[in-house]
Amino acid sequence: MTAGVSTAQQNTADSTGPLTHHELIRFYRLMYLSRKTDDREILLKRQQKIFFQISCAGHEALLVAAGMAMRPGYDWFFPYYRDRALALALGQTVTDQLLQAVGADDPGSGGRQMPSHWTSKPLHLVSPSSATATQLLHAVGCAEAGRYFAQRPQAATGSYGEGDYRRFKDVSFQPDEVVYTSLGEGSTSQGEFWEALNTASNSKLPVIFVVEDNGYAISTPVETNTPGGNISRLVANFPNFFFAEVDGTDALASYAVMQQAVAWCRAGNGPALVHGHVIRPYSHALSDDERWYRHASELEADALRDPIARMGVLLLQQGVLTEAELDAMHRDIKQEVRDAADTALAAPLPRVEDIERHVYSEDLQPTTAVFRTEPQPRDKAEHTIADSINQTLREEMRRDERIVIFGEDVADASRDEHLRSGAVKGKGGVFKITSGLQLEFGSDRVFNSPLAEANITGRAVGMAVRGLKPVVEIQFFDYIWPAMHQMRNELSNIRWRSNGNHTAPLVMRVPIGGYLTGGSIYHSQSGESIFTHTPGVRVVMPSNAQDAAGLLRTAIRCDDPVLFLEHKRLYRESYGRAPYPGPEYAIPFGKATIARPGGDLTLVTYGAVGPRALQAAQRLARETGVEAEVIDLRSLSPYDFEAVAASVRKTSRVIVAHEDMRSWGFGAELAARIADELFHDLDAPVRRVGARDTFVAYQPILEDAILPQPDDLFQAMADLAAF
Ligand SMILES: Cc1ncc(C[n+]2csc(CCOP(=O)(O)OP(=O)(O)O)c2C)c(N)n1
């Protein structure tokens, strides 16, 4: 089908529908439990016993409907902060919710997350961030992973050795699993909403998007976010979707559309979008007072639609409960919430000593000797970095069926019938690094993404949470910025914020750097220090073919997210060519190499400055007799301070040189640390060489002046030697 199906506008229901009396009572109970938990949190916040409150009030009917229509621990859930009632319906306890509110050592985050960040590993509630709409792409990636495992069940099983991330992922999947994700109507303005609909639609993925439309995004009304004021009208042309717009304060109507949406997705028809009109009786959060920007008449109209009051009346009218039974239930629930609050307030607090736990994997550290193997070249033929990366990807994909590769133009050809017939040769990336991989491994393992970097990164996070190993490509470092939000706020900290419950070990390969003669502003950028300044992500940058193979293998096999920076200028240079070191060759992260030994001064560098520094060091030795030791860090986070310190203790003089701008660059941190920790070993100030504090210009004479050249490095070393 090419157009989505839509249910009747504004579904309503006034009978008790398909639910039994028992289910109706459970439905109401969950709604009331959610509201009373919010009320208790508000009280606790006023008593300064918790530190933040944001409520589910007014959204309960839609969310209990979703929870009751889906299966915890079977389906997957990527909720947002309003979804308390969903979490309760799935089986999360009030105690767990209040443990998070008081900042106790709660099972979902260990005191790291604000309240309302619903997390439970057994229930498949995946730890959300506070950013609006990022979770939608994770849901898409999760659904892709579920489908992948269903089609390749053997990829999910297998026994693996000590140095293998796969030991830590329980890859369970269900052939008809469905993925839930939700957001407010304001958040549909985020690009990631549209990027998620794009892939869910194109790939007919079983994802239910629930738009909880309470008419406001903090103080901004719906028409400011959504042209025409109705998101259902805007999305209606996405193919393959089931669409439903419903009064989300009507419990039975909500349940009916949720059931239809789930059935649509389970049957493999494609995704669904349920747009529920709800109310927001408690302002945006406790720090907000909506009377500042909403008229009293609006609030009164909303109050008439309160979902709990509506369902209470329905239960009485239909004879499901008597008033006395309803009162008794209310009393029970209030007591349950009071007891849970007492338990939460008395619970142990997280330990300060544990702050740094779960920044990185504790199970498999890429810095350890597990990843140290000797090169075993099959022959002496020398290969470029480009060939070495392609070969490593190929061999790792042969070994591990969980690896998938995607990104812009990385496939040989999306229309693969022409590829298979040999009529077209295939692209395989703008730098041809992934050339031939789709042909060998198939279009479900190597495929093109839409032109959207957040889409690539967010989907990869969702896949990695489920146990796939995405090795994605960002086409140019210059265009990594749309992915930055996903990298900084999701990829880097999902392990930490969930206290180790959810992890996303994946690899992002990124061509970086200049010296291209004409690369200009948007094809020459560096900027590695922005990522080394982000905890939770490993950053490596090889400068020769052997290191590229060894570091990439460690990146793929380890249990942490890795940013793998590939210098474009070095891809096919004769410098750095090496025999291919074999299919098991790995290098631990955080180990530098001495590219040139010397006793008079130390130059620490990495990337494309490496060969320029060697050239300068040879000239220095020739012309002045000064022998510089050149250290290639290879790995930037973690980096090998021990190697730097050992060299500085020997030479007493050090320069840190890199291609990126000097100010605020990677060298600033390294120089500061050397000055701090090696002060007594130094005979001269710590010097830095880096690019000018501009962007890189197109005209070659400008590019040469902006980026550090061998002459600059020579001069800096000569000056330092003479100090
Ligand atoms: C990317 C991002 N920008 C801004 C914020 C701050 N913020 C938190 S909630 C919110 C409003 C969200 O409104 P809506 O999506 O309609 O959901 P609602 O809270 O109304 O349920 C904003 C702007 C954020 N969390 N994330």
Q: Is residue 441 part of a domain?
A: yes
Q: At what angle do helices 60-69 and 21-46 cross, to 10 degrees?
A: 130
Q: Tokens in use for 348?
A: 């142990």
CA-closest candidate to residue 612, choices 715, 531, 519:
715
Q: Tokens in use for 172?
A: 């369970």
One-letter amino acid at 586 equals A
> pLDDT (tens digit, 9 = 90+) per residue, 62-105?
999 999 999 999 999 999 999 999 999 999 999 999 999 999 99
Instruction: Look at residue 673 and tell me whether its pLDDT is greater than 90.
Output: yes
pLDDT band at 7 (very low <50, low <70, confident <90, very high): very low
pLDDT at site 156? 86
pTM value surpassing 0.75: yes
Question: Is there an atom of ligand 1 within 6 Å of 429 CB?
Answer: no
Instruction: Look at residue 280 and tell me whether its pLDDT is greater than 80.
Output: yes
Instruction: Look at residue 458 and tell me whether its pLDDT is greater than 60.
Output: yes
- Same-domain pairing of 556 and 534: yes
Mean pLDDT of all residues in 590-618 = 98
Q: Tokens 């600033």 label which residue? A: 668
pLDDT band at 4 (very low <50, low <70, confident <90, very high): very low
pLDDT at site 5? 46
Count structural domains, the chain: 3
- Same-domain pairing of 401 and 478: yes
Q: Is residue 159 part of a domain?
A: no
Question: Is there an atom of ligand 1 within 6 Å of 191 CB?
Answer: no
CA distances from 654 to 241, 664, 668, 678 (A): 61, 18, 13, 11
How remote is the CA of residue 187 from the centroid of ligand 1, in Å?
6
- Same-domain pairing of 248 and 388: no
Average per-residue pLDDT for the chain = 95
pLDDT at site 159? 66
> How many other CB atoms sit within 10 Å of the CB of residue 222?
20
Pocket test for ligand 1, best of 218, 223, 279, 283 (most atoms within 8 A of CB): 218
- In degrees, rounded to 5, the angle at the alpha carbon of residue 279 between the alpha carbons of residues 220 and 210 is 85
pLDDT at site 16? 66
pLDDT band at 171 (very low <50, low <70, confident <90, very high): confident
- Same-domain pairing of 499 and 598: no
Question: Is there an atom of ligand 1 within 6 Å of 646 CB?
Answer: no
d(CA 451, CA 694): 28
Question: Is there an atom of ligand 1 within 6 Å of 184 CB?
Answer: yes
- Contact criterion met (CB below 8 Å) for 309 and 8: no
How remote is the CA of residue 186 from the centroid of ligand 1, in Å?
7
Instruction: Look at residue 301 and tell me whether its pLDDT is greater than 50.
Output: yes
Residues with active-site annotation: 523
One-letter amino acid at 163 equals G
Q: Is residue 173 part of a domain?
A: no
Residue 134 Cα: closest atom of ligand 1:
1
At a CB cut-off of 8 Å and minimum separation 6, what does 679 contact? none
How remote is the CA of residue 217 from the centroid of ligand 1, in Å?
6
Instruction: Look at residue 10 and tell me whether its pLDDT is greater than 70.
Output: no
At a CB cut-off of 8 Å and minimum separation 6, what does 169 contact? 466, 467
Query: What CATH number should be reported for the domain holding residue 274?
Result: 3.40.50.970
How remote is the CA of residue 507 from the centroid of ligand 1, in Å?
29
Question: Is there an atom of ligand 1 within 6 Å of 132 CB?
Answer: yes
Question: Is there an atom of ligand 1 within 6 Å of 131 CB?
Answer: yes
d(CA 463, CA 447): 14
- Same-domain pairing of 197 and 337: yes
- Same-domain pairing of 390 and 435: yes
Q: Is residue 362 part of a domain?
A: no
Query: What CATH number should be reported for the domain holding residue 634?
Result: 3.40.50.920
Reading phi first (left if > 0) and then psi (alpha if -120 to 50, else beta), residue 229 is in left
Q: Is residue 164 part of a domain?
A: no
* Residue where a domain stops, chosen among 320, 349, 378: 349
pLDDT at site 167? 76
* Sign of the torsion formed by the C-alpha atoms of 704, 710, 715 and 717: positive
- Same-domain pairing of 608 and 573: no
pLDDT band at 11 (very low <50, low <70, confident <90, very high): very low
- Same-domain pairing of 520 and 607: no
3-state secondary structure of 628: strand
Pocket test for ligand 1, best of 56, 135, 187, 220 (most atoms within 8 A of CB): 187
- Same-domain pairing of 386 and 343: no
Please state which of the ranges 154-158, 372-376, 593-597 shows the lowest mean pLDDT: 154-158
- Same-domain pairing of 269 and 130: yes
Instruction: Look at residue 184 and tell me whether its pLDDT is greater than 90.
Output: yes
* Residue where a domain stops, chosen among 551, 579, 607: 579
- The residue segments making up the domain with residue 408 are 369-579
Question: Is there an atom of ligand 1 within 6 Å of 135 CB?
Answer: no
Q: Is residue 158 part of a domain?
A: no
pLDDT at site 9? 39
Q: Is residue 161 part of a domain?
A: no
* Residue where a domain stops, chosen among 288, 318, 349: 349
Q: Is residue 360 part of a domain?
A: no
- In degrees, rounded to 5, the angle at the alpha carbon of residue 31 between the alpha carbons of residues 111 and 251 is 135
> pLDDT (tens digit, 9 = 90+) per residue, 689-707?
999 999 999 999 999 999 9
- Same-domain pairing of 209 and 114: yes
- Same-domain pairing of 395 and 504: yes
- Provide the CA 641 distance to its chain's centre, in angstroms: 29
Helix (H) or strand (E) segment spanning residue 247: strand 242-247
Instruction: Look at residue 132 and tell me whether its pLDDT is greater than 50.
Output: yes
